[in-house]
Amino acid sequence: MTTYAVGDLHGCLKPLKCLLEEVDFNPSRDVLWSVGDLINRGPDSLETLRFINSLDNACIALLGNHDLHLLAASRDATLLRKSDTLLPILKASDRDTLLSGLCQLPLAHYDSRLDCLMTHAGVPPIWSVKQTLKRAAEVEAVLRDEALRGSFLDNMYGNEPARWKPSLTGMDRLRAITNYLTRMRFCKADGTLDLKSKESVDSAPKEFAPWFNHPRKNPETKLVFGHWAALGGVSGVPGVHALDSGCVWGNSLTLMNLDTGERHVCSCGDEHE
């Protein structure tokens, strides 16, 4: 069995299939990790979601901020933006099945054999692996509960609170966890977030740094994340693997063999057009 991890798909199905063919991926023996942002902005969001579902237990996919955006927009269409390519999903005959499936996805995944933790945006330096998984599970439980899901999705957006405190409760707590795991780029060593800056590491606001440049609670654990296309798939920190190489922007899609560290790249060209 080989475990692979792929960067943000954003509805770019052809490059994904190209990479899986290149490594002779076999769902009966191999496993694919997806860092999230399965859909949106790319040309084949609906088919990408269906393909990921077809892999069943051979794929461990996370929720990214764009996947959560789809869930929120399914309740309130006014949230849709001009750049979104989500209408094919929202109008699909299997819409309810697809949306329900998204609600079952995790926000973090850890493999003890590989000692590797995957999240969409990263891991705040103030959280251990155990704390990350425990807090991700809080949001996952709400999304999987039909009685609680709607209120969460309706109140999910916002940049506050900007700093984690264990005493946080209610929607503030859930929003903070969600922002750390699906939106984070820059933060302070104490976990204070800046969610406005989205460019390269050189654009860090004063007193802020990329989250992975701060000392971590479990530095021995490998981290796999996406979300930050401006990094070009490079974090510059050993054991911290950035996989979003900007496929939807016409750059490339990256697939990493988590057993060997080998990377496979497929040029996306005009895939996003």
**What's the CATH code of the domain at 107?**
3.60.21.10
pLDDT for residue 200: 87
pLDDT at 272: 41
Q: Say which residue, 270 or 104, is predicted with more confidence.
A: 104
What would the mean pLDDT of 32-58 be, rounded to a whole number? 97
Work out the percent of the chain whose per-residue pLDDT is above 90: 95
- Whether 262 is covered by a domain: the verdict is yes
**pLDDT over 90 (residue 109):** yes
272 lies in some domain: no
Measuring CA to CA, how many Å separate 173 from each of 12, 49, 72, 92, 158? 33, 29, 18, 33, 12
Q: Edge-to-edge strands of the sheet including 209-210?
A: 193-194, 186-187, 209-210
Rounded-to-integer distance, Cα 165 and Cα 69, Å: 25
Joined together, the tokens standing for residue 84 give 């979104």
- The residue range of the domain holding 83 is 3-267
In a domain? residue 20 = yes
Q: What is the pLDDT of residue 128?
A: 98
Confidence of residue 198 (pLDDT cuts 50, 70, 90): confident
Contact 227, 195 (CB under 8 A): no
What's the mean pLDDT in 168-173? 98
Rounded Cα gap, residues 170 and 158, in angstroms = 14
Segment 174-201 shows an average pLDDT of 96
pTM (two decimals): 0.96
The answer to the question of residue 273 being in a domain is no
Q: pLDDT, tens digit, for every residue of 18-29?
A: 999 999 999 999
In a domain, 194, yes or no: yes
Neighbours of 196 (CB within 10 A): 9
What Cα–Cα distance (Å) separates residue 180 from each residue in 5, 30, 119, 157, 265?
Answer: 20, 30, 10, 13, 27
Under the banding of pLDDT at 50, 70 and 90, the label for residue 164 is very high
In a domain, 205, yes or no: yes
**What's the total number of domains in the chain?**
1
Q: What are phi and psi of 153, to 5 degrees?
A: -65, -35
With a cut of 80, say whether residue 56 has pLDDT above it: yes
Is 213 a domain residue? yes
Q: How far apart are the first and last CA of the chain?
A: 35
